[in-house]
Structure 1
């Protein structure tokens, strides 16, 4: 299975473009290097102005209180991207793009640890990644990756330069289709045994020390995970002094903090060009949501005891006692009563102490690393957490396995006692793994009983039962030097064989059952697997680490069995912790929302995009909405953007609930608290009256263009191109001067300035490739049409093949397509059906609730009508609320049930750039009982159809054709599709349908 990479995603393309924009002028003026092994030498004169152009963007201003030029002769740039949003992809594309634009071909990547390095090496060297950048994106070059590894001991022979450094330095800039990338981890850079050694027998270009040779290449350097490289610490200073790159770009989700005076700190951003905040990533579904869960202690004290270690060969045991208020340490001996730790343990004493465990007077054995509560000491706390984690895992696994395209679910367990999983040198005492396997066997047998109707899933479970040991794997730091073949297989699966771990079957067609991973925080920054859906933290916390870093291993969006990244679905990560971290969800929300408070002013700024979205929802102009907020004194317009006035935040959020000032409440959940209020409860008795209609709506259809579509496009394209595709765009200024004379004040117009908009030029073949990518018109048709255009208008200036022309072609073709191709599509039923839907699970059972965000952004406390599908009224516009409250029962119609269709649940394919899902569904009967109607409504809060934009009209037109096809295929379930604008009521629309049907 190859993971299919997506290109051109806005949150990944913007940072690449901004880096190029800053460097553009400096590298256009670059000097040719003296030696072939060097990068071009940029002219950084004026670079401060170039940086100012980027950080002058309103969204970036709060993070850049001043503009920076060079620091210690090095240009510093920062890109902040939340964990799981693809920063490795972004800096890899940056490497390709800087080589293509400026001829830079020597890059150094510095990462914090071995797992990060292995992950990066695996990504850059994977054939599917190379093919993506070379063939799909058209960079037409390859990366030669040179990996710095630890020096092996040598007893004799020559001491050569590290081959990775030699290959990197020797790479010639005359190789136009080759990029040389040297990657090293922090430890190798710090300790210097490989890179700082000057005792090599043979020099390289006269250099006796690898660091000097690397420095001579004038490299471009990338730092991954910058919070591990504080600029005041030794490693960063070593990078600047010993490598002295021309530019350092830091890519990370977390940046180090520095003192801001008076006990305050601030993030150490230097020229922050892009900031994809955690809040944006969660709210835009770029990463999974999080559902935290813990076991509540039986009593309010929340006591827990941990066996820390055996001392003096078994003479005493070290116990750690923890509750909500204090931590205590106890050294105890054989015969001691545990009542000294807690009154709850009265009558319990230590019966015996061995090298690895203690025996209690109640017959229980507690091993080193084991944890137990003062209330329930018959089973360990880890055992309870494992049981909960397996419950959550199989809930998720069952759901993901029964999709049309299956997704393999993985679970990750963090432990703090390696021997509890690996055992001792003789593989004895792996009690945690034994306990896990016992519980896993119980869960597998239970799942198998409930999976008789799903043959594939039952087979997967049976294969798991047949080889339970194969289901789990561990990776710990000491494994790197272990010679055991089984351990090596586990480590390879976790660190290197990502695609195999994601696959449900191996190359021979056998089930790949490995899906439970164990580690000891060794898998931190850099390691990721997109299909981790459950993380259980079976270790004491004591960590001041970023909460986002803790859950970061499971945030990336998953891939299916075919390697497709799955977006547009609210995936959740199950995060299991113990009661000592019961406030994890609250702390995480605070951290996510921390980016809302900018600089020392501590003000909350509103993204302009949120105001634009709200204006569209409310069908008002953006300026009018801003004016309304200003008049109410809720906001202030500042140089840095729009801020909420102090003390008015709650009032603002109540009045404008559509505007998200923080992470959405359903994206970070605490399962220990009542979350039903954050969801909309489905009235199950009402749904049964709607089930037949819902089943029909969830039939899957494919959209086809008629066979002559290419001929139609070929005939129309010349006229489309003639319609100003190659016209130069211009903008002009409007200037008026206020003049005052004895008759009063007058505005006098002056000459306008006219500017020609210049797009970035590109090669003709690149123009054709991008035009095909943006329009799906075959390249031959585009080329032939341009040849004819050139014959009629003379040879085209190469400068006309630019981004402006490309945008003109895309926009004009898109407009033409909306106007002309709607009648040339057909719908055909697919040969599969959805097993689970927004309102039902894979067995057709009604769900308890649905996320409120899928129903509407606003809610009301008014009494919900009896025949409405949900217990809560959530809506997106005033017209939708009016529909919910509208009692359509009259002399003609008897309303049975109605409800909002969950957002994106019915994906009707159409000729626009995205799928379409209507708003309301109704089941109604005539009063005489002779007629039953299924009605689907598209609600548009506009005054007339003419106001609807082209794409919206096209979607509605396609939907009419779609529902007509369903009715043709299944006449017994006729579905009427109607659109509603705000002067129409649902009563009138349904009455008119009923009257026509009764005739």
Structure 2
């Protein structure tokens, strides 16, 4: 497999943020200088001789070197550029260039990027962009550990061809090694892009090899390596700078004589000039990382009982009552063992355990699949994930491994058909728990044995007799083949050993631990490689990752030295399929990309700690949505940047206040986020409507607790397979009538559009005249000098608001035709024709308020344009149809806390998106007139000129009871066309034409606001 890369807008923005800071810097192809040849230059050796005799270190000496050109911009120009970059992203504005006194570097830039969004890719691409624009070519990537160093080197390898296609160049890169100093000669003499990767231990540790960078070396012609490096005036990129803030490390950076220092991290500890932000909230909302689910384990100590019980889950089926999967102790011939059992109502644990006294009174009273609870007649109640009785560490680890194996299989069953390989990752603290050694050699450790037992047990439940590709895949893999351990290897004994970890670090210093993980990343992603479960040391938590890690399980005691974000960070990247393509389709990204964390604590405890970590990482976000915050911010539109004036800021603030979207402390409320999710936000004032998308983005930049990424409870996410309703003749007949695909055409005359636009403008265009406020006041008696200074010596006695109806004379020159052409995407000549035909009195409003005139006229013209397109659209059937596979390929799992248990739906449970849908489903499912119904998958869509449209419901009624046996419904909370968005109205109109043209007369399509409205139509 070969990983594929593509141009991602969010990554391009990060690269441009760096490059734009140096706008105006002249391009120089590298400044030539004389490289210090040293005291004893090596003899010239031809490339042929070097290849023949294996002498890569003996290169021909050269005096010509190429270093980065000095910065030509003045500090004032550079600061102005940085502020412009910050302003367009609405970041805090740097009042001055932040200098780091410890490094001595005057130029320091910060880029904040969430783990898993590709910061390594971004700073590699930034090197190419800086070279393209300004000619800089000497770069050093500094990392805090060997793990991250090896990851960066791998990234440079796998992105080389991608950047060659984009920039027409390849970078020369190497890892600094004090025993391979010939690389420094090439780094200095080569005029192309050169990248050195170095870890801080190589120049900041006290070991003999680490000191060599500062020493005059005989094997380096009596030169100091650091002197050869610094002569190039390199640009330093710091990866995870928060781990390199020791005084000695920072002082060491000055030895490199850097032109500038650029810092990349998800969690900056010290900030300089922040020029880009893509934090945890941005990454989740933009669907750039996986969604997190947690499978927690709660230990309950019940008073007066030693009965061990672990409730794994509740199984549901269409043809039998719910069953509880429970682990309990059972008396056997060779002693007492803990074994899993399926329990039904009235099962007696005393009998099932072989007569163990601790289970007396434990008779199953109820099993509730809706809330995942198991109740006994003695009053004990367990929720899925609860463990009671004697739960020692060995029992906890077995439970975790079992849960991880189960989560793996559930994800694999969903993703195998999509060509996505699922990987699961276990972190452990001791190699001996996975691999041990005796006289015979390598033997399994405790965790390896438990894993194979649990794997085989669950495999027997998953495997069926059907000859499917997935079953064949499973049969071809033995348990011992599908897991492997990636640890350090002792060079003498060749045995796996615990890594060498320094007292102050969490990363190993042994590069051998990373070979398989990093160098074989592509192989791990292939179905041809049987390894699917990876055991690794917890010290490898940072520095590597694989996009297809879907399950993470930490088989260790929780501690406070590692944040929950670090624990989940290795699995946050979006997955890839067997073609190396990234699974980032916005419509399905979080249905595919869900990371399950199997925690050794309760769901509530883990999520609470994780959300605390995320919240703390968002501390730089503004918390208050007031006029002061909004004023001066930038709205980025297709027509250019628009600065939020004090007047617009006041309108945004009043809008939030009026609709209870902010509280008394000017903080964003839950109501705002709920209304946005339900697409029920109140309409913005007219002046803000042209920039609605940008205004809401600006509001969303203000942090509130309701914004926190949703962290699901993985135990509530169950398989929800199709049931027998799907095979009913009524549903199959309906499906056969609607599963047609079609292409549309649109023909209309320009004169018709002109006429509609002119009529709408003449009838509806009402421009607000500009207003001014007159205030009258008097000076207070006995006013002090301090009152005069503070402006409180006068009191307002009356005020009035007046309208200014005369022509506005302003220094601002408005391009009326150009602005309207940009807003409507029509030609200037078409806009000019519309304006010429307008009523003179209506057009004269332009003089009183040009901005309001342009905004409202643009909205009205766009509405008429959509109307004309929809009126003249025609659908023609094509040979292709929708496959019924779309019902099984999409969203077979979801959060069951939102589920409705249905009788007549094609799935056992229905997941609704709003209260309106929930009520509609409840009445639909109880109806005696309904034979079967389905919520249509997102893959079933109708193409329209304003985007694909996915209807909500397909309903088949009992024949003979209603007029329209087959019905396609769209549920909306309001039936008023005034309350539907224009884009929705256009899509609905297109859908009506689609069903009218493509399906039979028996199929009816309509928008309804409830079950009553539906029955009025079908009867």
Identify the residue that residue 11 of structure 2 maps to in structure 1: 12
Inter-CA distance 515–490: structure 2 relative to 1 (3 Å threshold): farther
- Compare 830-839 and 274-283 and name the one that shifted more: 830-839
Cα contact 2:611–2:708 (8 A) shared by 1: no
Contact 2:201 2:210 in 1 (8 A): no
Contact 1:699–1:829 at 8 Å: present in 2 too?
no
Structure 1 segments unaligned to the other structure (5+ residues) = 153-160, 173-177, 257-267, 305-371, 506-511, 613-620, 717-733, 760-774, 776-810, 842-846, 856-862
1:282 to 272, 281, 284: 284
Check if 1:494 corresponds to 2:494. no
Query: Max radius of gyration: which structure?
Result: 2
Shift of 1:528: 0.7
Residue number among 83, 87, 99 corresponding to 2:119 in the alignment: 87
The one-character-per-residue Cα deviations of 1:779-837 (angstroms, maximum 9, x if unpaired) are xxxxxxxxxxxxxxxxxxxxxxxxxxxxxxxx9xx999978997588461267823625
Within-5 A mapping of 1:284-303: 284-299=286-301
Question: Is residue 2:483 matched to residue 1:472?
Answer: yes
- Secondary structure class of the residue paired with 2:236: strand
Residue 84 of structure 2 corresponds to which residue in structure 1?
53
Match of 1:143 among 171, 177, 184: 171
Name whichever of 823-832 and 521-530 sits farther off. 823-832
In structure 2, relative to structure 1, the CA distance for the partners of 1:461 and 1:269 (3 Å cut) is same
Deviations 1:222-278 (A, max 9, x none): 111222122x53223312x1113222111111222xxxxxxxxxxx22222222221
What is the alpha-carbon distance in structure 2 between the residues aligned to residue 695 and residue 394 of structure 1?
A: 34
Residue equivalent to 2:662:
635
CA contact (8 A) 2:131 2:193 kept: yes
Q: Give the corresponding residue for 1:438.
A: 452
What corresponds to 1:381 in structure 2? 396
* Structure 2 partner of 1:572: 594
Q: Secondary structure at the match of 1:193?
A: helix
- Shift of the 955–171 alpha-carbon distance from structure 1 to 2, 3 Å rule, reads farther
1:420 corresponds in structure 2 to: 433
> Is 2:626–2:653's contact at 8 Å kept on the other side of the alignment?
no
Alignment of 1:56-455 (within 5 A): 56-57=87-88, 59-61=90-92, 66-71=95-100, 72-126=104-158, 129-135=159-165, 138-149=166-177, 151=178, 162-172=181-191, 178-191=192-205, 193=210, 196-201=213-218, 208-230=223-245, 232-239=246-253, 241-256=254-269, 268-299=270-301, 375-376=390-391, 380-401=395-416, 403=417, 405-424=418-437, 427-428=441-442, 430-436=444-450, 438-440=452-454, 442-443=456-457, 445-447=459-461, 450-453=463-466, 455=468
Q: Distance in 2 between the 1:55 and 1:882 partners?
A: 47
Please tell me whether the aligned partners of residues 282 and 663 of structure 1 are also in contact (alpha carbons under 8 angstroms).
Answer: no
Other structure's SS at 2:186 match: helix
Q: 1:24 to 1:694 in 2, by over 3 A?
A: farther
For residues 694 and 523 of structure 1, what CA distance do their matches in structure 2 show? Answer: 56
CA drift of 1:572 comes to 2.2
Please say if 1:514 is aligned against 2:537.
Answer: no
Question: What SS does the aligned partner of 2:31 have?
Answer: coil
Could you say if the C-alpha distance between residues 875 and 446 of structure 1 is closer, same or farther in structure 2, counting changes exceeding 3 Å? closer
The answer on whether the counterparts of 2:161 and 2:170 sit within 8 Å (CA) in structure 1 is: no
| 1: CA distance, partners of 2:801 / 2:471 | 88
Change (3 A) 1:821 1:954: same
Structure 2 CA distance for partners of 1:622 and 1:471, relative to 1, 3 Å: farther
TM-score of the two chains, using structure 1 as the length reference: 0.64
What SS does the aligned partner of 1:98 have?
helix
Displacement of 1:546 in angstroms is: 2.3
**Which of 937, 951, 957 does residue 990 from structure 2 map onto?**
957
Q: Helix, strand or coil for the counterpart of 1:569?
A: helix
* 1:502 Cα offset (Å): 0.3
- The answer (yes or no) to whether the contact 2:109–2:261 under 8 Å persists in 1 is yes
Post-superposition shift, 1:451?
3.0
Please list every run of 5 or more consecutive structure 2 residues that lacks an aligned counterpart in the other structure: 34-64, 307-386, 499-510, 637-647, 679-699, 751-768, 777-799, 819-824, 826-861
- Deviation of 1:19 (Å): 1.7
| CA shift in 2, pair 1:424/1:236, >3 Å | farther
Work out the CA distance in 1 between the residues paired with 2:582 and 2:230: 39
- TM-score, normalised on structure 2? 0.62
Say how many residue pairs are matched. 758
Distance 1:292 1:864, change over 3 A: closer
The match for 1:358 is: none
Aligned residue runs from structure 1 range 952-991, under 5 A: 953=986, 957=990, 961=994, 967=999, 975-979=1003-1007, 991=1016
CA-based RMSD of the aligned residues comes to 5.5
1:39 to 56, 64, 68: 68
Aligned pair 1:544/2:596, yes or no? no
Do the aligned residues in 1 keep the contact of 2:241 with 2:264 (CA within 8 Å)?
A: yes
Given that 1:373 and 1:380 are in contact with CA atoms closer than 8 Å, whether structure 2 keeps it comes out as no
Alignment of structure 1 residues 878-893 onto 2, 5 Å: none
Deviations 1:864-892 (A, max 9, x none): 99999999995569x878967999999xx
Q: Separation in 2 of the partners of 1:655 and 1:23?
A: 42
Within 2, Cα distance between the matches of 1:458 and 1:680? 18
Q: Does structure 2 retain, via aligned residues, the 8 Å contact 1:15–1:90?
A: yes
Question: Alpha-carbon deviations, 1:519-558, whole Å to 9, x = none?
Answer: 1123222301011111111112323222111110111111
3-state SS of paired residue (2:121): helix
Alignment correspondent of 1:616:
none
**CA gap 1:581/1:442 in 2 versus in 1, 3 angstroms:** same
Aligned match of 2:711 in 663, 668, 671? 668
- What is the DSSP-based 3-state SS (H/G/I as helix, E as strand, rest coil) of the residue aligned with 2:261? strand
- Contact 1:560 / 1:566 at 8 angstroms: preserved in 2? yes
Show the counterpart of 1:772: none
The question of whether the paired residues in 1 share the 8 Å contact of 2:488 and 2:496 is answered with no
Within 1, Cα distance between the matches of 2:1003 and 2:465? 35
Relative to structure 1, the CA distance from residue 471 to residue 626 in structure 2 (aligned partners, 3 Å threshold; closer, same or farther) is: same
CA contact under 8 A between 1:596 and 1:604: conserved in structure 2? no
CA distance in 2: counterparts of 1:89 and 1:756, whole angstroms: 41
Task: Tell me how far 1:74 sits from its aligned partner.
Answer: 2.9
